[in-house]
């Protein structure tokens, strides 16, 4: 055992010489750790016969200083980090590259930034943090994910630790186990060939480091979730008043509620007249908890990372279960000899979703619908006795009073997933390495659903009994069982050599993927609610979905060359085959090239003044071809003729005979889509690397979209159509900008970052488009236009008086204006024909059902002494929300209306008098059964072009000072408060702006308030 001695030192900023406090100093041999005081000084025990100090501090580059046997005082000058330029970026296929020599459009994010999120799934943790990523979370239920689109291009390919995966696998990693995520946004994705046309998300999980001490890290979070926004239904008085008013206007002689009723509702205390708040009854804040532990470290031969995490996210619907996930990650690497390294990794999880087994396909629909379908004048239980749920509307399923495990049953869904990877690396000769990776993936799913029979009750006051008024005799039991099995392999040769100032790296490899996902589903009708087993005698459906075998192979080649790190060139290509296509048309070649010039490395730059302002500047460009074998309208094996078994069928001779149908003409003319990706951009750093900027311009043109050659006029009467061919094209164009300012003012370290991504979709070439007239071209052509334009009438305010309607020259309702009232929507007669119809429609909005054309993120971080604060904002624009149904049609299906709608509609000053004075409002008067009125035609009155910004993450923490922890052998303790979706700024009233359901009743995203602690030893 070596002897230790104590030394002292000072940590300073290399540039200004100011002292740095709270820097971490670790002696590598003696394994002692300390931190510097406010004046930068420290003392530490080092090994007597020489040691090395590792000094780290946020915003500065790591430094290792050796301490000689005789030194007793060291001065350490830290250089402020140009971190983003020093980063190593994983570029796919197990390869990494320094960001400074990168020539493709690749963005990456590290562990610290990923983990700053309370989202249950990985996608939610990336929102607003990476340039080039469009996002929208249209559903917020427990365990839900955010839609991620690289530059709006469609479902990306996910690659986790070198293995091609899907969004589900990506989302349900524990994102605290992720070391980094890169997104390949341009032709650099070509390394993944025929599945890369929508970009690639590359994930690397955490690994231990050789020669580091063993670290244990514990994290615990606990918080409360609530709906971020949900349109509030009208209260009882507002509802009753609106209803009476509607009956007055519509001349209904017999009021459903008379003056006496109204008075009682206003009073709200008499039995039978006590209002009920369904929103409050169904939704309540609920907890979310997360626990994780990991250990990592390494000797000189072996490094490891083991982690175990558990997430429990309760539903905000009362007593509705939720989502639980347990994750395991184990990564081990061993140096067998100087030349031979092997590694193994195991990633497994258990995912569990549970909720009552309620009627309908989506068990989360009825609680949302019930808020509106049930009137505030109705209560869930007969005589308010909780043992007797009653009928609250004509739809028995809307009464939340019985949507619970006792009365309606249970639905559970479990995924058990494991991914096992082995890899090996062998140095053949100097610079030449062989690598191999084999992965085996097995995922098992089981869904069990049992919906009970149930009874609803009335109340007979005279006898004080509860007669059954409705009995459901439809028990429903279903089970889905299946598994996914994938075998992947990846073998490559890798040659790296530098001679003089030439740096060369060459890689060649082959990748294979084999997948099967056999699944079966069955249904039975249990004879009693208490029986949960499925018996043959009660089973009535069994559906075998088959193996769906898939196979793909790709051969890969990649060459990187640079001269002095100044002139950079990358060439890559992949020759890919997919089982989907006919044997003679299976293979495609996808090449890409990119180049960069680091101007700031040139001597003319370095020697110039400008180098002091612009510290770093790189210009780069890329172009390449990638593919997509997920061709719409083409299913695997469409090249085969013959017959399809299990298609249709009928009962003949008293037996149900499954049908077999002739297939259409074999499709031999259709292959994968081809995407030409072009990108130019620059990376720059200014003002001593405090300001960094990346700007990209891009275009993707996809050719080969399927269409039929309609000019080969094959009569329809022949009974088949010509198969589609690769004829049409479309485009995405856009830009993205990322800026970051990081600096230090005294003890305050801070960074301000922002990114914006704009990507617009265009339909491009169509196969010989034909139009009958110029209107037809205007209305229906999509050639070289923005895609998914949202057409509708243009509203022009509202009619203000009966006189205005009487004198109005345009037929606004196609009924001679006889249906109009003051407050009704006025439309622009854009073609001047005196009548409002489809010819007056114009583009009024953007796409409704996809990620926004524009997304942005703002990321702020501050650290002061032990305190740290981080804020992430995310926003979107250039997408459209269309209000329909409950948000537009008054009293939809006999249900309630939103409070804000009722309050701001035109109304009578005396609800009992149809001739009383009208009070103007923002919406037309609410009338029952009036949904077909011209007010509710498709127009910009109901279509909103959305803009929003959300405070997606707020993270405020305090790290206990070292001097307290050190005696306890604790490396670090951080306590923190974090929040999600705490603020939303948008032009959309009361509805979550990311929502897509036009009835406004989509499952909104959560607002979360959370406390946590992180301890490491």
Partner 1 sequence: MLAGGITCFSGCSDFLERQPDTIMTDDQIFGDAVMIRSVLANYYGRVSWGQHIGDDYSFTILDEAGKSDGGPDNIQGYGNDLWRVYDYTLIRNINQFLQGLRETTALSDEDKQVYEGEARFLRAWTYFNMARGLGGMPIVGDEVFEYEGGMDITTLQYPRSTEAGIYDYIIAECDAIAPMLSDETNTHSARANRWVALMLKARAAIYAGSLANYNNKMTSPITTPGGEVGIPADRAEGYYEQALSAAQEVIDLSPYELQLNKPDDLQRNFYEALSVKDNNTEVIWAQDRIYPGTGQQTAFTTRNIPGSHAEDIDRAYAGPILNLVEDYEYINDRNGDIHIRDAQGDYIFYDDPLDAFANKDARLGGTVILPNALFKGTPVPLQAGQKVWNSGSWRTVVGQPGEEGDDGLLITSDNGPTRSNDNYINKTGFFFRKFLDEAAGASTRGRNSEMWFPRFRFAEALLIAAEAAMELGQQPVAVGYINQVRARGGIQPLESVTLDDIIQERRVEFAFENHRYWDLKRFRRAHIVWNGVVNSPTAQQFALFPYLVVAPGTPNDGKYVFDRLVFSNSLHPRLFELRNYYNFIDLGWQNANPKIVLNPFQ
CA distance linking residue 44 with residue 36, whole number of Å? 10
Q: Which of residues 371-430 bind partner 1 (CB under 8 A)?
A: 391, 393-397, 422, 424
Cα Rg of the chain, angstroms: 33
Tell whether residue 476 is a contact of partner 1 (CB under 8 A). yes
Q: Contact at 8 Å (CB) between 294 and 193?
A: no
Q: Kindly provide the b/e burial profile for residues 715-744, where b requires at least 16 CB atoms within 10 angstroms of the residue's own CB.
A: eeeeeeeebbbbbbbbbbbbbbbbebebbb
Q: Write down how long the chain is.
A: 1017
Which C-beta is closer to partner 1: that of 406 or that of 547? 547
Let me know the angle formed at the C-alpha of 588 by 586 and 593, rounded to the nearest 5 degrees: 165
* Single residue of 660, 780, 831, 987 touching partner 1 by CB under 8 A: 660
Q: How would you classify the pairing of strands 1006-1016 and 212-227?
A: antiparallel
Site for partner 1 in 198-237 (CB under 8 A): none
Out of 540, 745, 774, 967, the residue judged to bind partner 1 by CB under 8 A? 540
Nearest approach in angstroms of CB 389 to partner 1 is 14
Which range touches partner 1 (CB under 8 A), out of 529-537, 784-792, 885-893, 912-920?
Answer: 885-893
Residue 264 token pair: 């009682």
Neighbours of 757 (CB within 10 A): 31
Decide whether 579 or 900 has the Cβ nearer to partner 1: 579
Pick from 65, 308, 438, 678: which binds partner 1 (CB under 8 A)? 438
Determine the Cα–Cα distance for residues 293 and 221; give it in Å rounded to an integer: 12
Size of the site for partner 1 (CB under 8 A): 99
Would you say 662 or 769 has its CB closer to partner 1?
662
- 3-state secondary structure at position 362: coil
Considering the complex, state which of residue 54 and residue 447 has its C-beta at the smaller distance from partner 1.
447
Nearer to partner 1, 250 or 801 (CB): 250
Q: How far apart are CA 594 and CA 384, in angstroms?
A: 72
For 114, the token pair is: 């990923």
* Shortest reach from residue 369's CB to partner 1, in Å: 11
* CA–CA distance, 879 with 988 (Å, rounded to integer): 12
Q: Is 340 in the site for partner 1 (CB under 8 A)?
A: no
Q: Which is closer to partner 1, CB of 318 or CB of 424?
A: 424
d(CA 369, CA 279): 10
Please tell me whether residue 690 binds partner 1 under the rule CB under 8 A: no
Q: Judged by CB under 8 A, which stretch of 409-417, 607-615, 653-661, 803-811 contacts partner 1? A: 653-661
**Contact residue for partner 1 among 663, 690, 766, 974 (CB under 8 A):** 663
Considering only residues 486 through 525, tell me which ones interact with partner 1, judged by CB under 8 A: 487-491, 510, 512, 514, 523, 525
Binding span for partner 1 by CB under 8 A among 199-207, 290-298, 541-549, 860-868: 541-549
Judged by beta carbon, residue 386 or residue 719, the one nearer partner 1 is 719
Q: Which of 698, 891, 906, 948 binds partner 1 (CB under 8 A)?
A: 891
The 3-state DSSP class for residue 966 equals helix
Cα-based distances in Å from 398 to 163, 408, 570: 45, 12, 60
Q: Which is nearer to partner 1, 422 or 735 (CB)?
A: 422
916-945: which residues touch partner 1 (CB under 8 A)? 928-929, 931-932
Output the smallest distance, CB 549 to partner 1, in A. 4
Q: Which of residues 550-609 bind partner 1 (CB under 8 A)?
A: 550-553, 577-579, 583, 586
**Candidate list 528, 533, 713, 806; residue touching partner 1; CB under 8 A:** 713
Taking the least distance from each CB to partner 1, the nearer of 3 and 473 is 473
In the bound complex, what is the minimum distance in angstroms from residue 768's beta carbon to partner 1?
13
Query: Pairing relation of β-strands 73-78 and 4-13?
Result: parallel
Contact region for partner 1 (CB under 8 A) — 41-49, 161-169, 500-508, 659-667?
A: 659-667
**Which position has the token pair 């609106």?**
242
Helix (H) or strand (E) holding 789: none
Question: Is the CB of 651 or the CB of 806 nearer to partner 1?
Answer: 651
Location of structure tokens 């103007």: 920
Task: Give one word for 93, left, alpha or beta, with left for phi > 0 and alpha for psi -120 to 50.
Answer: left
User: How far from each other are the two terminal CA atoms of the chain, in whole angstroms?
Assistant: 23
Question: What residues from 450 to 469 belong to the interface with partner 1 (CB under 8 A)?
Answer: 458, 462, 469
Nearer to partner 1, 296 or 421 (CB): 421
Q: Would you state the structure tokens that stand for residue 698, as one six-digit string?
A: 């891009």
**Measured distance CA(378)–CA(93) in Å, rounded:** 61
Phi and psi (nearest 5°) for 901? -70, -50
* Sheet bearing 163-165, strands edge to edge: 106-110, 178-184, 200-205, 157-160, 163-165
One character per residue 234-253, x = contact with partner 1 (rule: CB under 8 A): -------------------x
Among 70, 584, 609, 716, binds partner 1 (CB under 8 A): 716
Residues facing 697 on adjacent strands: 680, 735
Between the CA of residue 376 and those of 269, 271, 278, 392, 887, what are the distances in Å?
14, 14, 7, 10, 17
Interface residue with partner 1 among 16, 251, 386, 654 (CB under 8 A) is: 654
Q: Supply the minimum distance, in Å, between the C-beta of residue 547 and partner 1.
A: 6
Of 112 and 535, the one with the shorter C-beta distance to partner 1 is 535
617: tokens are 């500047």
Least separation, in Å, of the C-beta of 937 and partner 1? 12
Among 223, 347, 220, 344, smallest CA distance to 293 is for 220
User: Which residues inside 623-652 make contact with partner 1, applying CB under 8 A?
Assistant: 636-637, 640-652
Site for partner 1 in 341-370 (CB under 8 A): 359
From the list 29-37, 143-151, 200-208, 891-899, the region that binds partner 1 by CB under 8 A is 891-899
**Interface stretch with partner 1, choices 90-98, 112-120, 544-552, 959-967 (CB under 8 A):** 544-552
In contact, 807 and 817? CB cutoff 8 Å: no
What whole-number distance in Å separates Cα of residue 819 and Cα of residue 825?
A: 12
- Supply the DSSP symbol for 70: T
Q: Which residues contact 716 (CB under 8 A, 6 or more apart)?
A: none
Which lies closer to partner 1 via its Cβ, residue 436 or residue 782? 436
Residues 163-182 that bind partner 1 (CB under 8 A): none
CB of 406 to partner 1, least distance (A): 19
């Amino acid at each position: 055992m070596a002897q230790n001695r104590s030394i002292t030192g000072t940590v300073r900023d290399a540039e200004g010489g100011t002292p740095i406090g709270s820097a971490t100093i670790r002696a590598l041999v003696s394994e002692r750790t300390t931190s510097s005081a406010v004046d930068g000084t420290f003392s530490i025990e080092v090994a007597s016969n020489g040691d090395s100090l590792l000094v780290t501090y946020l915003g500065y580059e790591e430094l290792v200083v050796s301490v000689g046997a005789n030194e007793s005082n060291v001065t350490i000058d830290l250089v402020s980090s140009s971190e983003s330029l020093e980063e190593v970026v994983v570029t796919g296929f197990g390869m990494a590259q320094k960001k400074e020599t990168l020539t493709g459009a690749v963005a990456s994010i590290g562990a610290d930034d990923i983990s700053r999120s309370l989202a249950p799934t990985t996608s939610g943790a990336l929102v607003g943090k990476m340039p080039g990523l469009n996002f929208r979370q249209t559903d917020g239920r427990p365990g839900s994910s955010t839609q991620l689109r690289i530059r709006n291009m469609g479902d990306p390919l996910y690659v986790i630790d070198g293995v091609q995966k899907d969004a589900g696998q990506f989302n349900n990693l524990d994102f605290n186990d992720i070391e980094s995520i890169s997104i390949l946004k341009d032709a650099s994705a070509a390394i993944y060939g025929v599945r890369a046309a929508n970009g690639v998300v590359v994930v690397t999980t955490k690994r231990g480091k050789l020669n580091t001490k063993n670290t244990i890290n514990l994290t615990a979070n606990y918080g409360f979730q609530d709906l971020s926004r949900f349109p509030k239904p009208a209260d009882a008085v507002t509802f009753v008043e609106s209803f009476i008013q509607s009956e007055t206007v519509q001349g209904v002689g017999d009021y459903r509620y008379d003056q006496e009723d109204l008075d009682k509702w206003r009073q709200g205390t008499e039995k039978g007249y006590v209002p009920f708040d369904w929103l409050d009854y169904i939704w309540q804040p609920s907890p979310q908890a997360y626990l994780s532990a990991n250990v990592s470290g390494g000797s000189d031969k072996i490094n490891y990372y083991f982690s175990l995490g558990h997430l429990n996210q309760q539903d905000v619907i009362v007593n509705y279960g939720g989502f639980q996930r347990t994750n395991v990650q184990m990564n081990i690497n061993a140096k067998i000899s100087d030349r031979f390294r092997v590694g193994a990794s195991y990633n497994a999880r258990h995912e569990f979703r549970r909720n009552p087994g309620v009627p309908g396909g989506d068990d989360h629909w009825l609680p949302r619908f019930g808020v509106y379908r049930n009137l505030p004048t109705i209560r869930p239980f007969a005589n308010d006795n909780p043992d007797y749920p009653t009928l609250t509307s004509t739809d028995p399923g809307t009464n939340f009073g019985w949507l619970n495990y006792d009365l309606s049953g249970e639905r559970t869904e479990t995924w058990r997933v494991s991914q096992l990877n082995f890899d090996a690396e062998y140095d053949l000769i100097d610079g030449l390495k062989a690598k191999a990776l084999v992965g085996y993936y097995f995922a098992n799913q089981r869904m069990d659903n049992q919906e009970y029979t149930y009874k609803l009750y009335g109340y007979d006051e005279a006898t004080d009994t509860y007669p059954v008024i409705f009995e459901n005799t439809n028990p429903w039991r279903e089970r889905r069982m299946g598994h996914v099995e994938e075998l992947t392999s990846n073998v490559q040769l890798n040659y790296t050599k530098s001679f003089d100032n030439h740096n060369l790296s060459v890689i060649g490899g082959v990748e294979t993927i084999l997948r099967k996902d056999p699944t079966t589903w069955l249904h039975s009708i249990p004879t009693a609610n208490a029986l949960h087993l499925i018996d043959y005698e009660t089973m009535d459906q069994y559906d075998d979905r088959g193996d769906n075998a898939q196979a793909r192979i790709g051969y890969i080649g990649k060459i990187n060359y640079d001269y002095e790190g100044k002139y950079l060139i990358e060439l890559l290509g992949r020759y890919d085959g997919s089982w989907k296509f006919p044997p003679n048309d299976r293979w495609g070649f996808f090449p890409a090239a990119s180049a960069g010039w680091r101007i700031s490395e040139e001597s003319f730059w370095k020697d110039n003044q400008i180098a002091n302002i612009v510290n770093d500047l790189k210009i780069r460009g890329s172009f390449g071809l990638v593919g997509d074998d997920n061709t719409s309208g083409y299913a695997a094996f469409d090249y085969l003729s013959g017959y399809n078994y299990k298609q249709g069928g009928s009962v003949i001779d008293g037996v149900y005979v499954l049908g077999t149908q002739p297939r259409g003409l074999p499709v031999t003319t259709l292959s994968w889509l081809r995407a030409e990706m072009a990108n130019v951009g620059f990376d720059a750093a200014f003002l001593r690397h405090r300001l960094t900027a990346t700007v990209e311009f891009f275009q993707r043109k996809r050719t080969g979209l399927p269409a039929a050659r309609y000019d080969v006029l094959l009569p329809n009467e022949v009974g088949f159509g010509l198969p589609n061919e690769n004829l049409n094209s479309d485009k995405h164009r856009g830009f993205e900008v990322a800026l970051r300012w990081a600096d230090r003012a005294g003890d305050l370290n801070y960074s301000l970052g922002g990114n914006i991504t704009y990507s617009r979709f265009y339909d491009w070439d169509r196969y010989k488009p034909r139009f009958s007239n110029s209107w037809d071209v205007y209305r229906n052509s999509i050639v070289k236009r923005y895609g998914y334009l949202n057409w509708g009438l243009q509203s022009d305010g509202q009619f203000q008086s009966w006189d205005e309607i009487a004198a109005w020259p345009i037929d606004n309702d196609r009924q001679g204006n006889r249906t109009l009232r003051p407050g009704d929507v006025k439309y622009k007669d854009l073609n001047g024909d005196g009548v409002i119809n489809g010819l007056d429609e114009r583009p009024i909005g953007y796409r409704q059902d996809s990620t926004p054309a524009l997304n942005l993120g703002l990321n702020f971080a501050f650290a002061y002494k032990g305190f740290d604060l981080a804020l992430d904002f995310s926003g979107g624009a250039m997408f459209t929300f269309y209000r329909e149904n409950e948000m537009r049609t008054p009293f939809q299906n006999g249900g309630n209306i939103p409070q804000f709608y009722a309050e701001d509609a035109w109304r009578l000053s005396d609800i009992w008098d149809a001739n009383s004075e009208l009070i103007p409002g923002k919406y037309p008067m609410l009338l029952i059964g009036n949904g077909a009125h011209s007010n509710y035609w498709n127009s910009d009155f109901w279509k909103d072009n959305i803009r929003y910004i959300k405070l997606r993450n707020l993270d405020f923490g305090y790290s206990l000072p070292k001097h307290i922890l050190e005696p306890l052998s604790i490396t670090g303790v951080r306590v923190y408060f974090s929040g999600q979706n705490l603020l939303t700024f948008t032009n959309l009233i009361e509805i979550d702006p990311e929502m897509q359901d036009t009835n406004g009743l989509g499952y909104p995203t959560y607002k979360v308030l959370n406390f946590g602690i992180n301890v490491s030893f």
